[in-house]
Chain A
Amino acid sequence: MSDPAILYDPALDTRPPRSRRSRRTRRSEVSGSRVPLALLLPAILGIAFLVLPMVGLLIRAPWSDLLLRLAEPQVGQALRLSLITATMATVVSMILGIPIAWVLARSNIRGRSILRALVTVPLVLPPVVGGVALFLVLGRRGLIGSWLYETFGFSLPFTTAAVVIAETFVAMPFLIISVEGALRAADARFEDAAATLGAGGWSTFRRVTLPMVAPGVAAGAVLCWARALGEFGATITFAGNFPGTTQTMPLAVYLALQNDPQAAIVLSLVLLAVSLATLTLLRERWLTRA
């Protein structure tokens, strides 16, 4: 008998790499390797540029009557509306976006690259343009909107639903890109294994594919939610600025800045706190793994 070890060909070994760490960039082990000055200076300048505005916000905050201002009903109203609409936009984005990501990553349909480009257009499109486009389609005189109005007597613009639609339009591409990346990185052979164990397409997706890309979905959902929370342009264009129904935090901040700058700072602080809290809460659990 010949030695079986000789017959093993590493080039044909399709086993996945053992650890994720091996895929990460390795740092130089050389001690004292210094950052060149030409890189260090712009880096420090850049960090200052990113951090200073937030510091400014903290310095100028009316700390003495902060609690009082936070208790104002408009703040709570805007915050509640923002959290609800951003969460709903994220849910809608997941329901529609995960299937899109699956189609982009797994299917062999023609024109897939065109589809990907189309789906990610809202990423680069100015949100105001998105708002105008939504208005033209879903407005009372819009392509679909006029039919909606004539059939159901229902008009979308300037409602809370319009806020959710505007936020979804702008934020969903973040989720799609994140989930598609996770799906591409996931080993599709697990889906073969599920098929040989009697799982059909939907069952395989639900029981194998989705749990395996869960970190990517979570990361995408966080990005999507954060983007939806900060949405301004499309919202104000398509949904308007009505306290209680469509005035989200960013809109309230903008409005307050013109009448009562102190209030704008307070509202901004709240948004900053919510964003940071979300990031730190989810960073440990999901973002570092994705």
Chain B
Amino acid sequence: MSLAAQFAVQRGSLDLEVDLAVAPAHVLVLLGPNGAGKSTVLRVLAGLLRPDAGRIVLGDAVLDEPAAGRHVPPYERPVGMVFQDYLLFPHLSTVDNIAFGLRSRRVPKAQARTAARVWLDRVGLAEYARVKPGSLSGGQSQRVALARALIGSPELLLLDEPLAALDARTKLEIRADLRRHLAEYGGATVVVSHDPIDAMALADEVAVIERGRVVQSGPPGEVARRPRTDYVARLIGLTLLAGTGEGTQVRLESGVAVAVAEPAHGSVYVAIRPEAVAIYPTQPHGSPRNVWPARVASATPHGSAVRCDLTGPVPLTADLTATAFAELGLAPGSEIWATVKAHEVDVYAR
């Protein structure tokens, strides 16, 4: 079943207006900062919150259309949802948690439990059937919550920050599991996340939401390569600059010119990857056409590299190896020179 959701909702200071489409068996990841309205989108799709305007269609069924007075209540929607902290019912065993949805549909108890055990086995927790959720780990809870949402064969699956509550190591494992389950699932999936890695790992499509609006959407690779807002760029680690194309150079709003390889015209974005920025203690001479003085504003470990935020005529983010960082004797406040080769600068229309 495909989802087509176009709606607006006003809630406190949040003014949300989105237009989303998800094909069957596809995963849409809503990526955005906290408070952008991502979770509100899920609540509307689940039917827990009524939109003020618009239309939500799942397959052939209209779930919401305020203008026509239509609102299908959550308990009548073919929707499964995994909540941020899973919300497993503390008074029920894991098997009864998973069976809950079937029991709501008046499936006899024994039959529902048998089906729940099959799911418990499928998520690798067969021996935990009688355990209460309170004694499960975060990763185990997540799997139970996923099984609980999927057992009713929903046509739409909603996951609210499914990995946010997990520690780094569990996350890796659960993410791989989740990916496998989503690949087996035939319905449309909407995942909310603020973690770009989750988005890249799980998504067929990414929609970036900021302040209640979708600011960019597309395949994850495309969004990562060509971010359209500073938020996405920083998430990915890119430096994003707006300017005007003047052939093989782009004039930034600050007046500084950035040399580019591909001729560009009109309003454009310039994106620079942190590993494309080279740093010199003195002004270098030679091939790079982009040479700017800079000052190290901050330096943080980033994987095996050191990520430096640079201030200067062009604000940049640079990745250095730890060795290079040490050899150059860098520290916050160091005055350096930054260079970027013209063909390492990505230019695309705004």
Contact = CB atoms under 8 A, between A and B. Distances in A.
A190 B87 contact: yes
B194 A7 contact: yes
A29 interface: no
Interface string B44-79: 001110000000000000000000000001111101
Contacts of A214: 91
Contacts of B46: 192, 195-196
A1 B74 contact: no
Contacts of B6: none
A237 B165 CA distance: 60
B237 A192 contact: no
Given A8-B164, A195-B74, A190 B196 contact: no
A137 to B, nearest CB: 39
Nearest to B96: A207
Interface residues of A, number: 31
B197 A4 contact: yes
B40 to A, nearest CB: 13
B236 A198 contact: no
Contacts of A192: 43, 46, 48, 74, 83, 87
A14 interface: yes
B101 interface: yes
Contact of B85 (A16, A199, A208): A16
A271 interface: no
A207 B48 CA distance: 19
Contact of A197 (B84, B104, B158, B300): B104
B170 to A, nearest CB: 14
A197 B148 contact: yes
B100 A12 contact: no
A197 B157 CA distance: 12
A190 B89 contact: yes
Interface string B178-197: 00000000000000001111
B197 A198 contact: no
B83 A193 contact: yes
A2 B236 contact: yes
B122 interface: no
Interface string B95-117: 00000110111000000000000
Interface in A169-193: 187, 189-190, 192-193
A contacts with B: majority SS: helix
A207 B75 CA distance: 14
A196 B197 contact: no
Contact of B197 (A1, A12, A199, A212): A1
A89 B344 CA distance: 81
A197 B89 CA distance: 12
A289 interface: no
Contacts of B149: 196-197
A196 B74 contact: yes
Interface string A84-120: 0000000000000000000000000000000000000
A211 B236 CA distance: 45
B222 to A, nearest CB: 16
Nearest to A12: B34
Contacts of A203: 75, 104
B200 to A, nearest CB: 8
B343 interface: no
Nearest to A190: B87
Contacts of A72: none
Nearest to B237: A2
A198 B91 contact: no
Given A8-B164, A189-B83, A197 B48 contact: no
Nearest to A200: B75
A23 interface: no
Contact of A196 (B48, B89, B236, B237): B48
B91 A211 contact: yes
B104 A1 contact: no
Contacts of B234: 2
B177 to A, nearest CB: 18
Contact of B34 (A9, A189, A195, A207): A9
A135 to B, nearest CB: 43
A3 interface: yes
Interface in B12-44: 33-35, 43
A4 B171 CA distance: 12
B80 interface: yes
A123 B150 CA distance: 49
A287 interface: no
Nearest to A197: B101
Nearest to A189: B87
B194 A3 contact: no
A3 B298 CA distance: 15
3 closest residue pairs by CB, A with B = A198-B104, A195-B74, A197-B101
7 contacts: A1-B197, A2-B237, A193-B81, A196-B46, A196-B75, A196-B81, A197-B101
Interface of B: 33-35, 43, 46-48, 73-77, 79-81, 83-85, 87, 89-92, 100-101, 103-105, 148-149, 152, 158, 164-165, 168, 194-198, 234-237, 300, 302
Given A197-B75, A211-B89, A212-B91, 8 more contacts: A2-B235, A2-B302, A4-B196, A190-B89, A193-B81, A195-B47, A196-B75, A207-B100
